Structures are given as C-alpha cells and as structure tokens.
Amino acid sequence: MSGFLLRRVLGAVVTLFAISVIVYVVFYVTPGNVAQITCGPRCSPAQVQQVAEQLHLNDPLYARYWDFLQGLVAGQDYSTGTSVQHCSAPCLGLSYQSDQQVTALILAKLPVSLSLVFGAMVLWLILGVGTGVLSAWRRGRLTERLLTGVTLAGVATPVFVIGLVLMIVVCGQLQLLPFPQYVAFSDDPEQWAWNLLLPWLSLALIEAAAFARLTRAAMLETLAEDHIRTFRAYGVGERSVIGRHALRGALAPVIALNANNFGGAVGGAVLTETLFGLPGIGQELVHAVNVVDLPVVVGMVLVIGFFVVVANAVADVLYAVADRRVVLA
C-alpha cells in the first residue's frame, strides 16, 4: 500500500511537471505581441521595447522556464523598476498588469472557487447517486421513467443555460433569493450558503445527471450478478440488497467518474463564477486571459491542473478501498 502511494505521488509530481512544461511553452511561444498589449495601444516602439526588456520577454525560453521553476521551488526576487519585491517559495511570478504576486492573487480567490466546487460536489453526489439508486430500485415503474427523462434533460443542458434560467426565474421573477454575492464563510456561514445556493445548483445539476445515469447502470449490472441472487435467496431484505450490496457495486465507477469529471466541473465553475459574478479563480482567469496577463494565466492553469491531478490520485486510492477486487500495484 505505501509503495503504491509513493509511486502514485511520484507519478502525480511528474505529471504536474510535464503539464507545467507544456503549458509554459505553449503559452509563451504562441504568437501575439505580449509587450504591446501589456504596455497599451498608445505605447511607442521604444516603450514597448522597454516593457519587453522588463518582463524578460527577449530572453530565451528555457532560461525563463528555469527562472520560473526556481521561483516555484525556492522563491525569487523581482525588481519592479524602483523597488525589489521578494516572492517566496511557491512563486508563480508577477502579474504583468498589476505587479501583484500571482500566488497571492490565486490564494485570495481560491476560497471562493473551492467553496463553489466542493459544495457543488456534495450536492451532485447526493442528488446523482440518490436519483440513480431510486431509479434502479423502481425499475420499470413510472418513477424510473420520469427520473430517466429528467436526468437525460440534465445531461443535455449546458451549465450556463441552467445557471441563466435559474438566476432569471429564482432571483428575477420569483425573487426568492437575492442575486448571489459572495460572502466569506468566516464572515457569515449562513449568508455564505444562501448566496452560493444557486451557483451550487447550476453546477451540480448537470453533473448529478451524469452520476444518476452511471449509478443506475452500475446498480442494475450488480443486481443481475449471482451474489445478489444468493443474498435474496437467503432472505436478505430488498432494502438491504439495494442500499448495501448493489450500491457497493456502483461505488467504484462513481469514484472513477468523479475524478474523471473533476476537470470538467472546474471548467463549469469558471462559467458559473462568470455568470453569477463570483470573485473566484475562474472569473480572474477570464479577466487575465482578456488582457493576456500570461503569468496569471499560466499560474491559474497550473493550480487547476494541480487540483485535477490530486483528485485523480485520491480517486485511485478510494477506488481500491471501494472495490476490494482492485489490487493496488
């Protein structure tokens, strides 16, 4: 087990390193005059040249990547014209636009995004697995047909369409909730939850639909297996057969799907944040992308990649715990 964990962690580190290389190279090699955009449309060629100099845009790529890695591992000092700024250990560089440290920028926005994604995850697991169990249990009846239709519609609706409709109906027409505004959990947990309710729902509904379909299919497959027939023959109650034994068969695929969809859900979170005006990483990324603030973009993509890789590693371990047939190797 510990050997497996070690290898998995090492693998994750290597993957992250490879992602950082690819992301760095792709973003800094792509054509586009970064210095001109950063400096502004009215800059003279000399000023543009000066900006390029200051941002080290003329240095060779490998040298810049090496600097970037050094900053990431050991921290780095940046001169911002007049003063020297120290950027400590996991340093992702300075924003081209504001000279702010990217790490600090991301850390400031992270709680919003984490609140959104993990809250929604709780919701989509409960809703999705619950719906799946219910429709496997009620197979062939009206309940199942209704649920199948609803989940299919859920799978087919883009997250920003659900979000738009929810916002217009709930906040605009019915005025049940105010238009969401982020309140930090540490300030007021109750307001935090109320304001995140709609964003959570928008993000969770579409994911829940995918989980419902998967759970239902996996449970039906398990229910057809011999050991379930044996349980039933021994007189184990239907509730226990469904709730304990069949559900166990669905657990491993659900975990796998959760890891697999995590990256997609983060993408959905970007849309949700933009739609509801939540000041998270996604909104910041959209902003950074529009002003071609490359250090911020690269930093954010790496941080998001980090979470996706970690989610996958965690899923691998949980997978083995959920399904004892899986041998960790």
Partner 1 sequence: MPAPGASGARQFWRRLRTQRAALVAAVVVALLVLVALAAPLLTAIEGQDPTTYHPSLVDSARGGVPIGSFGGVSAEHWLGVEPQTGRDLFARLVYGARVSLGVALAATVVQIAIGVVVGVAAALGSRWVDQVLSRFTDVIVAMPLMIMALALLAIVPSSFPRPVLVALVIGLIAWGNIAKIVRAQTLTLKGLDYVAAARLSGWGTWRIARRELLPGIAAPVITYAALLVPSNITVEAALSFLGVGVKPPTPSWGQMLTAADVWYQAAPQYLLLPAGALFVTVLALTVLGDGVRTALDPRAASRLRIGTGRKREAKA
> Which residues make up the interface to partner 1 (CB under 8 A)?
14-15, 18-19, 22-23, 26-27, 30-32, 148, 152-153, 155-161, 164-165, 167-168, 172, 206-207, 210-218, 220-221, 256-257, 260-261, 263-268, 270-271, 274, 285-286, 289-290, 292, 294, 297, 300-301, 304-305, 308-309, 312
d(CA 87, CA 205): 40
**195 Cβ partners below 8 Å, 6+ apart?**
178, 180, 181, 182, 183
Of 251, 155, 39, which Cα lies nearest the Cα of 147? Answer: 155
Q: Nearer to partner 1 by C-beta: 122 or 156?
A: 156
Q: Nearer to partner 1 by C-beta: 127 or 270?
A: 270
Q: Nearer to partner 1 by C-beta: 208 or 320?
A: 208
Q: Nearer to partner 1 by C-beta: 221 or 323?
A: 221
d(CA 66, CA 46): 28
Q: C-beta of 215: minimal distance to partner 1 in Å?
A: 8
Q: C-beta of 159: minimal distance to partner 1 in Å?
A: 6
d(CA 117, CA 236): 38
β strands within the chain, DSSP E: 76-79, 84-87
Of 184, 200, 211, which Cα lies nearest the Cα of 269? Answer: 200
Q: Nearer to partner 1 by C-beta: 241 or 309?
A: 309
- C-alpha dist (Å) from residue 190 to 111, 195, 196: 16, 9, 10
Q: C-beta of 265: minimal distance to partner 1 in Å?
A: 8
Q: C-beta of 60: minimal distance to partner 1 in Å?
A: 20
Q: C-beta of 64: minimal distance to partner 1 in Å?
A: 16
Tell me the one-letter amino acid at 23: V
